[in-house]
């Protein structure tokens, strides 16, 4: 396993992180015994970065609880544990969002479920349109000063809010975001227009969720109207219903070329897809979610396999998207 720093911080994480949205998710995830085996396999590969959220799992905090059971038998300081808050945790009107009240209560609940007295990274799951940014950032700064949280980050924030958060934190001397977590893969490159540059300018590292586009970049899907049985797309019908054929049509050429590169270099297509992302030094880590221990062992190889420049360029050209004005627009002097 190889490591990178999160943004401009001194916190080093595995370039392949473990996403745990599958833990405690009965329909398209895995049960606790399998999740514990996955955690063991990840640690055996040298992985140290485990990402969760209070909303992951069939029940509130299910993923965190599983990780907490496992973490109780480990050397806590050997791992970087990241969680998130925002979503509703009870019927109470204040049990949601990024207010001071909810963040503090949600953080304490996550710490209890994770069987730890601190989080290495606490992320705001989505932006809150109703809570002032300075209230959110000052609350996070308070948690850092208390020792409950070491670093803070955001997730799914637009570029302007990343830049604004940097300015608010600098102006008021508050703890800054060191990381932004975003949907990014060969089939979904929207963040390249605004978000990636904003994160780089704001000294924020980028963490990719869904780097394999829901298994689309594993090469296992055929050119048909419906996904194969027992695949994640088939199990998550609310995501794939009515859109699978369109996804196949839009991605078929890219995936075909990905498979050819993988066959030529004798690696899995998923490893090529992850290596393509990690070729960009702005990407601190990619988060992979798995249902079996052998999958994490295979995907960890993306840290050690470097995609050749000509293969990276070919995939880049095939998957490139045209961003709207003013990107790529030649302005008169």
Per-residue pLDDT reduced to its tens digit, 169-194: 999 999 999 999 999 999 999 999 99
> Which DSSP string do the residues of 5-47 spell out, in sequence order?
ESTTSS-EEESEEEE-TTBT-TTTSB-HHHHHHHHHHHHHTT-
All domains in the chain, ordered by first residue: 3-215+270-305 (3.20.20.100)
* Angle between helices 269-278 and 309-319 in degrees, nearest 10: 90
Task: Tell me if residue 157 is catalytic.
Answer: no
With a cut of 80, say whether residue 248 has pLDDT above it. Answer: no
Model pLDDT, residue 242: 61
Is the pLDDT at 243 greater than 90, yes or no?
no
Query: pLDDT tens, 281-333?
Result: 999 999 999 999 999 999 999 999 999 999 999 999 999 998 888 887 766 55
pLDDT tens-digit series, residues 49-64: 999 999 999 999 999 9
In this prediction, residue 233 carries a pLDDT of 64
List for the chain the helix, strand, coil content (%; round to 5): 45, 15, 40
At residue 153, the pLDDT reads 98
Question: Which pLDDT value is given to residue 23?
Answer: 97
pLDDT given at position 105: 98
How does residue 214 score in pLDDT terms, banded at 50, 70 and 90?
Answer: confident
Average pLDDT over residues 5-24: 97
pLDDT digit string (tens) for 262-290? Answer: 999 999 999 999 999 999 999 999 999 99
The region that residue 190 occupies, defined by phi over 0 for left and psi between -120 and 50 for alpha, beta otherwise, is: alpha
What pLDDT score does 324 carry?
Answer: 86
Both tokens assigned to 214? 């829901």
From the list 56, 157, 184, 244, the catalytic residue is 56
CA-closest candidate to residue 101, choices 63, 145, 139, 45: 139
Average pLDDT score over the chain: 93
Give yes or no for residue 222 having a pLDDT over 90. Answer: no
The reported pTM is 0.93
End-to-end CA distance of the chain: 48
């Amino acid at each position: 396993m190889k490591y990178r720093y999160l943004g401009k911080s001194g916190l080093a994480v595995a370039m392949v992180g473990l996403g745990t949205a599958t833990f405690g998710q009965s329909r398209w995830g895995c049960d606790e015994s399998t999740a514990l085996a996955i955690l063991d396999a990840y640690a055996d590969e040298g992985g140290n970065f485990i990402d969760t959220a209070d909303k992951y799992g069939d029940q509130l905090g299910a993923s965190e609880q599983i990780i907490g059971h496992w973490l109780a038998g480990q050397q806590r300081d050997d791992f970087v544990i990241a969680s998130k808050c925002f979503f509703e945790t009870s019927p109470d009107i204040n049990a949601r969002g990024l207010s001071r009240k909810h963040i503090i209560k949600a953080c304490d609940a996550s710490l209890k479920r994770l069987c730890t007295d601190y989080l290495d990274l606490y992320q705001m799951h989505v932006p809150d349109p109703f809570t002032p940014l300075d209230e959110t950032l000052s609350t996070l700064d308070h948690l850092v000063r208390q020792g409950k949280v070491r670093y803070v980050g955001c997730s799914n924030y637009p570029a302007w809010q990343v830049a604004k958060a940097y300015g608010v934190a600098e102006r008021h001397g508050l703890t800054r975001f060191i990381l932004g977590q975003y949907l990014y893969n060969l089939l979904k490159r929207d963040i390249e227009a605004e978000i990636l540059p904003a994160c780089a300018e704001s000294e924020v590292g980028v963490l990719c969720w869904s780097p394999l586009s829901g298994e689309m970049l594993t090469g296992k899907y055929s050119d048909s109207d419906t996904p194969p049985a027992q695949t994640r797309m088939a199990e998550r019908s609310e995501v794939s219903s009515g859109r699978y054929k369109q996804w196949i049509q839009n991605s078929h050429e890219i995936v075909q070329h990905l498979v050819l590169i993988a066959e030529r270099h004798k690696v899995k297509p998923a490893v090529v897809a992850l290596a393509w992302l990690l070729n960009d030094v702005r990407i601190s880590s990619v988060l992979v979610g798995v249902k079996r221990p052998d999958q994490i062992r295979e995907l960890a190889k993306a840290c050690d396999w470097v995609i050749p420049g000509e293969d990276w360029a070919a995939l880049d050209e095939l998957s490139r998207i045209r961003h709207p004005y003013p990107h790529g627009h030649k302005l008169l002097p």
